[in-house]
Amino acid sequence: MATSNPVVLASQNAAPLAEPKALSTVEASKRRAAYKAVEDHFDTSYKYIGIGSGSTVVYVVEAIAAKGREVTSKMVFIPTGDQSKQLIIEAGLPLGSIDALPPVEVGHIKMDGISALNVATGLQDLGLKGKRQSLDVAFDGADEIDEELNCIKGGGACLFQEKLVATAAKKFICVAGNIVLLRELVPKLIAADSRKLQPRLLTKWKTIPIEIAPLAAPTIKRILITLGSPDPTIRQGGSAKAGPVVTDNGMWIIDAPFPPLGLHSDLKHGDHGDGEHGTWEVHNLGRRLKRIVGVLEVGLFHGRNGIQVAAAGEEGGGQKPVAAYFGMENGEVEVRTAKEVHGVKSRP
């Protein structure tokens, strides 16, 4: 599997975009990235669209709504949580839900009176074999992205529903907002720092959000410490709420710090990236955390992207984006696309 992604500076190809005068430089760059992502990955033939949460996705919804009601009225928009649900409603877009995606009809049954009675009484089905419609595309943000497009998500406490939507989509598009490129990643560009794009996860964003059952919190904290997380902390509501943050699913969030996560190419001989030598590889840590009893979901989006899932002949999508869009301080939009396109079977 490839370990790097092509860089495309897309400002020269993006549609002209007039910035509202009130927008700061950072917000203007987020807006450009969002509009470019919609320009590249939104098609008027699509039926089901996933909408994530975060400040950048506000501009994704704005760009989609600008297509006009004659386009969007034929679509269904699936939110990842209460924030994105409100964005969809306020933009006047048709609202759906991930659990209401219709099943795919397999074959066709001619309905006569007897067949209708049998269906109504449960003696006969409609030829629906359990496969659900996929989302055509899902747009969402991220807190940090590495050079293989693995992501950390969950800063807004929506990670479970975000992963539900991402893995139901044929392609997940990440719009990550404002960055200044790292000099090491793009040597020809002058840069000093990066906000979202990092060579390895947990470089700037120091913790992994984990959504957990409140009853299991003490046990999970102890297990995280044994796995190498020095100070896992239950996220608090701060001035807005006394006590722990409660997610849309009635769960708590633990923010677990770990050292920067390696890629498979980083592993030295004899080190499997499983924590034994103090190092964790992204996929290995994601799988290990998910196996803890009481964990609903982990804010590491890793493994495969939707193109790989489709090429492997499997249903659904992948956790990783097929493309990530970053608004840069100089006004350009950087696009990173996944090089991993070959079919890869899911790993346990």
pLDDT computed for residue 219 by the predictor: 98
Does 85 score more than 90 pLDDT?
A: yes
Which helix (H) or strand (E) segment holds residue 32: the answer is helix 25-41
Return the closest-CA partner of residue 325 out of 197, 148, 189.
197
Does 127 score more than 80 pLDDT?
A: no
Q: Is residue 121 part of a domain?
A: no
Average pLDDT over residues 337-347: 84
What is the bridge-based pairing of β-strands 76-79 and 103-105? unpaired
- Residue that wins the pLDDT comparison between 127 and 189: 127
Q: Is residue 276 part of a domain?
A: yes
Q: Has this prediction a pTM greater than 0.85?
A: no
Residue 144 annotated among the catalytic residues of the structure: no
The dihedral region occupied by 250, where left means phi > 0, alpha psi between -120 and 50, and beta the remainder, is left
Q: Is residue 345 part of a domain?
A: no
Domain count, the chain: 1
Q: Confirm if 17 and 10 have CB atoms less than 8 A apart.
A: no
Confidence at 13, pLDDT banded by 50, 70, 90? very low
Q: Is residue 105 part of a domain?
A: no
Least reliable range by pLDDT among 64-73, 168-177, 237-246: 237-246
Return the closest-CA partner of residue 57 out of 35, 73, 41, 82.
35
CATH number for the domain including 323?
3.40.50.1360
Does 155 score more than 60 pLDDT?
A: yes
- The residues with which 211 forms a beta bridge, in sequence order, are 253, 297
Alpha carbons within 13 angstroms on the beta-carbon side of residue 163 total: 23
Q: Could you read off the pLDDT of 249-308 as tens digits, one per residue?
A: 999 999 999 999 999 989 998 999 999 988 999 999 999 999 999 999 999 999 999 999
- Name residue 29's amino acid: S
Angle of CA points 132, 70, 135, to nearest 5°: 20
Q: Is residue 83 part of a domain?
A: yes
pLDDT over 90, % of the chain: 62
Q: Confirm if 73 and 93 have CB atoms less than 8 A apart.
A: no
User: Running DSSP on this structure, what letter comes out for residue 305?
Assistant: B
* Cβ-Cβ contacts under 8 Å for 198 (sequence gap 6 or more): 144, 145, 146, 182, 204, 205
Q: Which residues span the domain enclosing 162?
A: 8-98+134-337
pLDDT computed for residue 178 by the predictor: 55
- What is the rounded CA–CA span in Å between residue 196 and residue 198? 6
Q: Could you read off the pLDDT of 158-202 as tens digits, one per residue?
A: 999 999 999 999 999 999 865 433 333 333 222 223 355 678 999
Confidence at 106, pLDDT banded by 50, 70, 90? low
φ, ψ of residue 26 in degrees (nearest 5): -65, -45
Average pLDDT over residues 106-124: 68
Confidence at 232, pLDDT banded by 50, 70, 90? very high
pLDDT over 70, % of the chain: 82
Does 17 score more than 70 pLDDT?
A: no
What average pLDDT does the structure give for the chain? 85
pLDDT computed for residue 345 by the predictor: 80
The catalytic position among 27, 144, 148, 162 is 162
Q: Confirm if 60 and 38 have CB atoms less than 8 A apart.
A: yes
Q: Of the ranges 201-215, 261-275, 305-319, which is most confident?
A: 201-215
Q: Is residue 125 part of a domain?
A: no
Return the closest-CA partner of residue 171 out of 54, 58, 280, 50.
50
Does 212 score more than 50 pLDDT?
A: yes
- Residue that wins the pLDDT comparison between 120 and 327: 327
Q: Which residues of 181-219 are buried (b: 16+ CB within 10 A; e: fewer)?
A: bbeebeeebebeebbbbbebbbeebebbbbbbbeebbee
Confidence at 116, pLDDT banded by 50, 70, 90? confident
pLDDT computed for residue 129 by the predictor: 57
Q: Is residue 124 part of a domain?
A: no
Owner of token pair 């608004």: 327
Q: Confirm if 170 and 135 have CB atoms less than 8 A apart.
A: yes
Does 14 score more than 70 pLDDT?
A: no
Does 51 score more than 50 pLDDT?
A: yes
Alpha carbons within 13 angstroms on the beta-carbon side of residue 344 total: 16
How many whole angstroms from its chain centre is CA 222?
28
Q: Is residue 54 part of a domain?
A: yes
For every residue of 170-228, DSSP letters joined together read S-EEEEEEEE---TTTSTTS-----SSB-SSTTSSS-EEEEEE-GGGHHHHHHHHHHTT
